Amino acid sequence: MSTTRGLEGIVATTSSVSSIIDNVLTYQGYEIDDLAEHASFEEVVFLLWNGRLPKESELENLKAQLAEHSDIPSEIIEQMKSYPLNSIHPMAALRTAISSLGLYDAEADVMEEEANQLKAIKLQAKIPTIVTTFSRLREGKEPVSPRKDLGFAANFLYMLTGEEPEEISVNAFNKALVLHADHELNASTFTARVCVATLSDVYSGITAAIGALKGPLHGGANEAVMKMLNEIGSVENVEPYIRKAIDNKEKIMGFGHRVYKNGDPRAKHLKEMSKKLTEITGESKWYEMSVKIDELFTSEKGILPNVDFYSASVYHSLGIDHDLFTPIFAVSRTSGWLAHILEQYSNNRLIRPRAEYNGPGKQVYIPLEKR
Ligand SMILES: CC(=O)SCCNC(=O)CCNC(=O)[C@H](O)C(C)(C)COP(=O)(O)OP(=O)(O)OC[C@H]1O[C@@H](n2cnc3c(N)ncnc32)[C@H](O)[C@@H]1OP(=O)(O)O
Ligand SMILES: O=C([O-])CC(=O)C(=O)O
């Protein structure tokens, strides 16, 4: 047996959900550049789950279903009120609340295809409400109920603030959701597939995936980028900060990728959005600092920014709390996780690789009193 650290380069499944070939990312054959430019998040959800773009009536139907299921059980709100609201990370709250949500779905363990499709709708519809409810509760405010007449992106921003968002914010947020929706066999998606391949339920799969996304080497990096930008504080401080980090062999968050060695195709869209939004907020420094970090780190190390790097200044410009960046990633990626979960069920086999043993040789048991 031979091993590959971190399963690098190992092809672990076939999938038609998304692909990364020659640095080009596609969802069901549609290039990300095209989708980022033209598609609504709801269209992308339909695409990922059905393998084709929706017709107008199909899109309306999906939107209506998402709106219909967007309220969360009052028990979940009550439970959230009992969380230690001001000391926990919203990703921990989200992981717990999604797991609890399964308790209130009488069909959680029903394995028929139709039941699983309905669970997918419910989860996609409710995850924004959970994230925004948590955010409101910890601010000591009443949760804002979802508005059935707003689209997915607008409704999220509305539930967060209680105010109808401006079109420019909705468009930017929609594009960010589209860009984060799926990404082949990334760590959290693989986690979801491993979980449901035991024929465990959809809620377990999404809960497991949230746990994997939370880490700073994966989805948690977007919040870590904003922390770094805050620490640096000004464009002048970029160079000494980054040079010191390079000398100390520290990681620069938001850079590097297991698959993309020539750059993440999503980053340019977020960079452009960061430029526009920071100009509007009058806080161009976040964009300028990001560009300077990018130029310096790329030229010194040849390591390029990933999706998490410029998304930090984008979300900050939308007025979103920094520790909600990763939950927002989860709101979008739930669509991809669900597509992969449904695909896994449709052609399932238990996922169970091997480990090469490197522990001690044969040992003889020594009774406790003689050790
Ligand atoms: C949505 C997402 O999940 S995108 C990724 C988000 N994560 C981050 O931004 C965290 C920072 N980046 C990283 O930690 C890594 O680049 C990962 C985890 C994304 C990819 O890891 P791997 O594929 O294992 O890359 P690996 O660690 O082998 O990197 C190769 C070399 O580049 C270095 N490197 C990679 N990324 C970085 C970075 N961000 N900062 C500094 N050095 C880095 C590694 O230290 C390693 O150097 P070495 O060969 O001298 O040991
Ligand atoms: O694919 C990966 O390893 C990480 C990533 O960029 C994502 O999940 O979007």
Q: What is the CATH number of the domain that holds 152?
A: 1.10.580.10
Instruction: Select from 323, 347, 332 the least CA-distant residue to 123.
Output: 332
Total residues belonging to the chain: 371
pLDDT of residue 3: 83
Q: Choose the residue to mutate in 190, 306, 328, 332 for probing ligand 2, maximizing ligand atoms within 8 Å of C-beta.
A: 306
Residues 35 and 136 in one domain: yes
The arithmetic mean of pLDDT across residues 324-333, rounded, is 98
219-241 pLDDT per residue, tens: 999 999 999 999 999 999 999 99
Alpha helices in 69-186 (DSSP H): 74-81, 90-101, 113-138, 152-161, 167-180
In ligand 1, which atom is closest to the CA atom of 306?
4
- Number of domains present in the structure of the chain: 2
Gap from CA of 186 to ligand 2 centroid (Å)? 5
pLDDT of residue 15: 98
pLDDT of residue 2: 75
Contacts of 151 by beta carbon, 8 Å cutoff, 6+ apart: 40, 41, 42, 63, 170, 174
The arithmetic mean of pLDDT across residues 304-329, rounded, is 98
Give the domain extent around 113.
13-214+333-346
Ligand 2 close to Cβ of residue 183 (< 6 A) = yes
pTM over 0.90: yes
Which tokens hold the place of 240? 């000494």
Ligand 2 close to Cβ of residue 340 (< 6 A) = no
Taking CA atoms, 205 is separated from 104, 224, 335, 343, in Å, by: 16, 25, 12, 13
> Catalytic annotation on 218?
no
For the cut 90, the answer to whether the pLDDT of residue 325 exceeds it is yes
pLDDT of residue 139: 97
109-158 pLDDT per residue, tens: 999 999 999 999 999 999 999 999 999 999 999 999 999 999 999 999 99
Query: Which of the residues 69, 180, 183, 257 is marked catalytic?
Result: 257
Residues 252 and 181 in one domain: no
- Asked, for residue 287, whether it belongs to a domain, the answer is yes
Asked if residues 91 and 177 have their Cβ atoms less than 8 Å apart, the reply is: no
- Asked, for residue 360, whether it belongs to a domain, the answer is no
Ligand 1 close to Cβ of residue 251 (< 6 A) = yes
- Asked, for residue 79, whether it belongs to a domain, the answer is yes
Other Cβ atoms closer than 10 A to 16: 12
Report d(CA 263, CA 298) in Å as an integer: 10
Residues 84 and 160 in one domain: yes
- Asked, for residue 323, whether it belongs to a domain, the answer is no
Gap from CA of 137 to ligand 2 centroid (Å)? 31
Whether complex ipTM tops 0.90: yes
* Maximum distance among all Cα pairs of the chain, rounded to whole angstroms: 76
For the cut 80, the answer to whether the pLDDT of residue 371 exceeds it is yes
155-189 pLDDT per residue, tens: 999 999 999 999 999 999 999 999 999 999 999 99
Residues 37 and 160 in one domain: yes
Ligand 1 close to Cβ of residue 245 (< 6 A) = no
Q: What is the CATH number of the domain that holds 302?
A: 1.10.230.10
